[in-house]
Amino acid sequence: MTVPFNWSLALPEIVLSVCGLLILVIGVFQRKNASGLLCTGLAVAAFVATAVLVLGAPSGVGYRGTFVSDDFARFAKLLALTGAALSVILSLDYNGRQKVDRFEFPVLILFSTVGTMLMASSENLMTLYVGLELQSLAIYILCAFARDEVTSSEAGLKYFVLGSLASGLLLYGISLVYGFAGTMEYGGLRAALSDNAPVPAGLVIGIVFVFVGLAFKLSAAPFHMWTPDVYQGAPTSVTAFMAGAPKVAAFALLLRIMAGPFGHLAPQWQMLVELVAICTMILGALAAIPQTNIKRLMAYSSIGHMGYAMIGVAVGTEAGVRGTLVYLATYLFMTVGVFACIMAMRRNGRPLDRISDLSGLSRTHPLLALTMGIFMFSMAGVPPFSGFFGKLMVFAAAVQSGLWTLAVIGVVTSMIGLYYYWRVVKVMYFDAPEPAFDRGARPVGAVAGAMGLVTALFLLVLGPVTGAAQAAAAVLFR
């Protein structure tokens, strides 16, 4: 009872949750057929207010060692809030046209973001688990949100069943860690494991299980199987959300526990993380080649990106963590942008998702084609777009630590990746044009354009982003 409780540390989370409750009540007292506009607007306002609070939040450990607020958590939370706000804005038009614009949509995204923020601030394995469940449960529901479509229900069910399995593995790992180390607090774990005494095998197995559970959420190979089906089946507005913020949070968690409490055991798990990173990069590059559906292509592309970002985890140094954080920031903006472009693909009121539907886009919608092209080149890692800097920092960290294999495989798979990204650009610029798309909504265009600008001109903000990532990474290695 001597440790201060530090109520105010979780103020952003509390404010966001209360906003969620209020929006739910407001939504349910609306007229039956009211559109989701009011609730969406309120949700965006709540995200902005929370982001302001996050920026001003004090640092420290609170709630009897279950919650921590530091630069690392703030970095991840800001990314998560940005991703959530952007995808809520994007969803408005798409859901309206798909006739699924119910007010629960922004509310669920909001609660999922609360879970994401809890994960980023976890200082205890229980916080990790509860945050992860809150986030995942909302996403399972969102995947099946278009409940009258078979693909959406299938996506929701698939993700739910496999996600529960992953949660089970995670819990099993957590209980093993607790059983052998006698504590679930990161600080206590770090202290208990810092002695040079031999580490019990059960503890290592527990760590592996925790890693597997998180790798599943990250869709790292070989736990990626659900990703293409779920990305394709879920409504695009949901895919845009789940490809961004939750991935960032899961990575933040992975970085925090691997570098923090389990940091002293790096020799034990480093090999495994390297292996998973290599598998993920190769699979993401090769499996994307035969895809004809743009949402599936993006699924494999996101698997590949998770592999690159995991290099930073495998390296396990401050430079590696910084690289991963910068990578995630660039990835978030690219992904939201790409999905904004995909949402603009619609002909005669029906959404399209084949790559061939993009044929000749440069003549029918030159601006859209240009934006999409920027994202494709950025994802491939072509300078001077943002994706290049993320890759550069991660590879540099690997080389610094002497992990040449990782860096070389990363460069090779990036080359392969360039091929399939280039294919999309080729279809847009050199194929015979298809009929024009429907008139797009203004917010979607605005988001796509803004993300395109961020991606293209990332060089201008590289300094501040790297600085913030550096400060965040430094927290883990104090």
Partner 1 sequence: MITQITFYLFATILVLCAGMVVSARNPVHAVLFLILGFFNAAGLFLIAGAEFLAMILVIVYVGAVAVLFLFVVMMLDVNFNQLREGLQRYAPVGAAIGVALLAELIFTVGRLKLVPGVQEPTLPGPQISNTEALGRLIYTDYVLLFQACGLVLLVAMIGAIVLTLRDRPSARRQNISLQHARLPADTMEMMQLEVGAGTDALGGFIRPRDGYGATAEPIDARALPARRSDEKLGA
Partner 2 sequence: MALSPRVATPSSEFRHTMQNLLSAYFPIAVFIVIAAGVSAAMLGGSLLAGRQKPYAEKNSAYECGFDAFDDARRRFDVRFYLVAILFIIFDLEVAFLFPWAISLGRIGLFGFWSMLGFLGVLTVGFIYEWRKGALDWE
Contact positions with partner 1 (CB under 8 A) in 179-198: 180-183, 192-193, 195, 197
434: how many CB neighbours lie within 10 A of its CB? 17
Report what 137 binds from partner 1, partner 2, none; CB cut-off 5-8 Å by kind. partner 1
Report what 29 binds from partner 1, partner 2, none; CB cut-off 5-8 Å by kind. partner 2
Contact positions with partner 1 (CB under 8 A) in 219-248: none
Candidates 9, 10, 19, 24: give the one binding partner 2 (CB under 8 A).
24
> What is the contact mask toward partner 2 in residues 2 to 21, using x (rule: CB under 8 A)?
---------------x---x
Shortest distance (Å) from residue 153 CB to partner 2: 13
Cα separation, 384 vs 457, whole angstroms: 8
Shortest distance (Å) from residue 34 CB to partner 2: 13
The answer to whether 252 and 120 are in contact (CB under 8 A) is yes
Cα separation, 12 vs 101, whole angstroms: 27
Report what 28 binds from partner 1, partner 2, none; CB cut-off 5-8 Å by kind. partner 2
Report what 63 binds from partner 2, partner 1, none; CB cut-off 5-8 Å by kind. partner 1
CA dihedral 389, 390, 396, 401 (to 10 degrees): 160
Shortest distance (Å) from residue 183 CB to partner 1: 8
Candidates 28, 55, 150, 161: give the one binding partner 2 (CB under 8 A).
28
> What is the contact mask toward partner 2 in residues 400 to 419, using x (rule: CB under 8 A)?
--------------------
Candidates 107, 240, 310, 326: give the one binding partner 1 (CB under 8 A).
107
Candidates 36, 131, 316, 445: give the one binding partner 1 (CB under 8 A).
131
Query: Which one of 130-138, 252-260, 266-274, 438-446 is the stretch in contact with partner 1 (CB under 8 A)?
Result: 130-138
Contacts of 32 (CB under 8 A, 6+ apart): none
Cα separation, 139 vs 150, whole angstroms: 17
- Using CB under 8 A as the binding rule, whether residue 25 contacts partner 2 is answered as yes
> What is the contact mask toward partner 1 in residues 66 to 105, using x (rule: CB under 8 A)?
xx----------------------------------x-x-
Shortest distance (Å) from residue 24 CB to partner 2: 6
Shortest distance (Å) from residue 102 CB to partner 1: 7
Cα separation, 149 vs 144, whole angstroms: 8
Q: Provide the binding-site residues for partner 1, judged by CB under 8 A.
A: 10, 17, 20-21, 24, 63-64, 66-67, 102, 104, 107-108, 111, 114-115, 118, 126-127, 130-131, 133-134, 137-138, 140-141, 144-145, 147, 156, 176, 180-183, 192-193, 195, 197, 199-203, 205
Q: Provide the binding-site residues for partner 2, judged by CB under 8 A.
A: 17, 21, 24-25, 28-29
